[in-house]
Amino acid sequence: MTIKTIPTTPIDGQKPGTSGLRKKTQVFMQTPYLENFIQATIDAIGGGAGKRLVVGGDGRYFNRAAIQTILKMAAGNGVAEVIVGQGGILSTPAASNLIRENKTDGGFILSASHNPGGIDEDFGVKFNAANGGPAPEKLTARMYEATTTITEYRIAEAGDIDLGRIGETTLDDMRIRVVDPVESYQALMQRLFDFDAIRSLFAGGFTMCFDAMHAVTGPYATAILEGALGAPTGTVVNGTPLEDFGKGHPDPNPIWAKPLMDLMMGADAPDLGAASDGDGDRNMIVGRGAYVTPSDSLAILAANAHLAPAYAGGLAGIARSMPTSAAADRVAAKLGIAAYETPTGWKFFGNLLDAGKVTICGEESAGTGSDHVREKDGLWAVLLWLNILAARKQSVAEIVTRHWQEFGRDYYSRYDYEDVATDQATRLMDGLRDRLDGLAARRFADLTVAGADEFSYLDPVDGSFSEGQGLRIAFEGGGRAVFRLSGTGTQGATLRLYLEQYSGTDGRTDLDPQEALAPVREAAQEISDMSAIIGRTEPDVVT
């Protein structure tokens, strides 16, 4: 077979510090955009010779074509073996699991997560390392460097590989194993949870609606919930992955999963509603008439994890990203275990998990997971909830209310301002950063600032230091506002404002969250001079 070495020039694109690349699909489709990023990544891991990799994606438009290119480039770079999901399908957590189980050198995951898919929407490629987790900062720095210095890429000249059939084939000297995307993930879930108890729950008439949002979790949820656990057919809706996710945003939150929210708030609501995102690593949990914020979900899962077989021995520690509410910290304190606060993004949890310092991690953006893989895992969170519901024999609403009674409630909401002009977003952040030191003890709207700083993180495992991870302002009385710019958007800048207000253990826990957060919101908007700088205070998305 001929291996071609094709001259190329650096691509613009990868943001320094991100584990992957997210762009408009048509940008990826223009040779050699994808090729450059794949070659740069292979170069950054020390070349492909003899390596073993996992490849799969969330099924969005261009998924299969991109996988064919990656396979040919892997062969062109001397890779020894690639494990691919049948039809090119692998959820992010399932890919993480395959990397770990097969002890490969890492893997490519094709997804732009919760961003819409289609020829006019978004595509993405991420690289996960040998521990199954997103490329750590040291590697992302090398990847970025390689995208700026690349001069050529290598690709085998060959026909397309049949990804439809499970089994082994070869491309030149490279072995390709097409595997069932669900099988080993399902086996892992069966080891973690009490499937018998959950099966009895469903057999006893417990009802559920799982909205796969036409994304990758459909086949996983159908096999596990309706297959192994005996939930009635129709429990999983929108269960077939579509290239354009049915033209929706596969983002499991009350805005984009509105049909599910409406169902759960209505008279015919089942006992549990759940949804997952494009690549299957996020989750939304909603009980009958009771939406559970991701920050609360993390805390409640941590407080009850011992009810599931895998966590019966207790947790080593809990980690949350900085903008996530402090609810999980209160649980860690009660359990007498360590609580870690990391920058946004799953890659920061990897070292803590690898070192055995934490068992459960989570983010406010609907990501929760544990040491079973090195990614957040949507279906895992749903199964842990089911295991807890089966053991406690209470409703979601009851479990949440009792949690607040014991720990107090962390009212929480995130405001997203999308497609802000980059210079305006930078001006707002820079201006606020410059004023942080002088904010303490000053009053804004009805609140007094207790302290303000820019978050940075010293990794306790490898000593790496990450700066510029968000501006945080604490208020007297238990309120907090955090400002940060998104690293995953593909158009202009997305400004995120995270709002939080703790009720205390004797405060009211039944307020409307937006009402409870109004003082913090007003103070945050005033402090940042938002309306003058970006011309609005109304966000595009409130979650």
347 binds, among ligand VG1, Co ion, none (CB under 5 to 8 A by kind): none
Just list the catalytic residues: 113
Is the CA virtual torsion 57, 59, 62, 65 positive or negative? positive
Tokens of 318: 């809990």
Shortest Å, Cβ 287 to Co ion: 23
496 binds, among Co ion, ligand VG1, none (CB under 5 to 8 A by kind): ligand VG1
Backbone angles phi, psi at 538, to 5 degrees: -75, 120
Nearer to Co ion, 19 or 469 (CB): 19
Shortest Å, Cβ 148 to ligand VG1: 22
Where are the alpha helices (H) located in 242-343, listed in sequence order?
258-265, 294-304, 327-335
Axis crossing angle, helix 378-392 with helix 183-192, rounded to the nearest 10: 30
Nearer to Co ion, 14 or 113 (CB): 113
Outline where DSSP puts E strands in 172-268: 174-179, 208-211, 236-237
Shortest Å, Cβ 378 to ligand VG1: 9
Report the first-to-last Cα separation within the chain, whole angstroms: 52
Nearer to ligand VG1, 111 or 222 (CB): 111
Q: Which stretch binds ligand VG1 (CB under 6 A): 39-47, 277-285, 333-341, 399-407?
A: 277-285
Nearer to Co ion, 122 or 279 (CB): 279
Q: List the interface residues with ligand VG1, window 117-136 (CB under 6 A).
A: none
Does 488 engage in binding with ligand VG1 (CB under 6 A)?
A: yes
Q: Which stretch binds ligand VG1 (CB under 6 A): 231-239, 385-393, 481-489, 531-539?
A: 481-489
Strand partners, 429: none
Does 281 engage in binding with Co ion (CB under 5 A)?
A: yes
Residue 192: in which H helix or E strand, if any?
Answer: helix 183-192
Distance CA 184, CA 430 (A): 47
Does 346 engage in binding with ligand VG1 (CB under 6 A)?
A: yes
Q: Which stretch binds ligand VG1 (CB under 6 A): 67-75, 223-231, 232-240, 275-283?
A: 275-283
Shortest Å, Cβ 128 to ligand VG1: 11
Residue type at 63 in one-letter notation:
N
Q: List the interface residues with Co ion, window 99-128 (CB under 5 A).
A: 113
Does 281 engage in binding with ligand VG1 (CB under 6 A)?
A: yes
In the block, which residue shows the tokens 């479990």? 399
Distance CA 415, CA 277 (A): 19
Does 410 engage in binding with ligand VG1 (CB under 6 A)?
A: no
3-state helix, strand, coil in the chain (%, to 5): 35, 25, 40
Does 282 engage in binding with ligand VG1 (CB under 6 A)?
A: yes
For 52, 222, 317, 350, 444, the CA distances from 90, given in Å and listed in that order, are 17, 15, 29, 20, 48
Distance CA 502, CA 1 (A): 64
Distance CA 212, CA 462 (A): 37
Which residue in the set 190, 207, 395, 486 belongs to the binding site for ligand VG1 (CB under 6 A)? Answer: 486
Q: Which residue is nearest to Co ion (CB)?
A: 113
363 binds, among Co ion, ligand VG1, none (CB under 5 to 8 A by kind): ligand VG1
Shortest Å, Cβ 113 to ligand VG1: 3
Shortest Å, Cβ 146 to Co ion: 25
Q: Return the closest-CA partner of residue 485 out of 428, 406, 403.
A: 428
Distance CA 399, CA 196 (A): 21
Shortest Å, Cβ 277 to ligand VG1: 5
User: Using CB under 5 A as the criterion, which residues of the chain lie in contact with Co ion when the complex forms?
Assistant: 113, 277, 279, 281-282
User: Using CB under 6 A as the criterion, which residues of the chain lie in contact with ligand VG1 when the complex forms?
Assistant: 113-114, 277, 281-282, 321, 344-346, 363, 365, 367, 486-488, 496
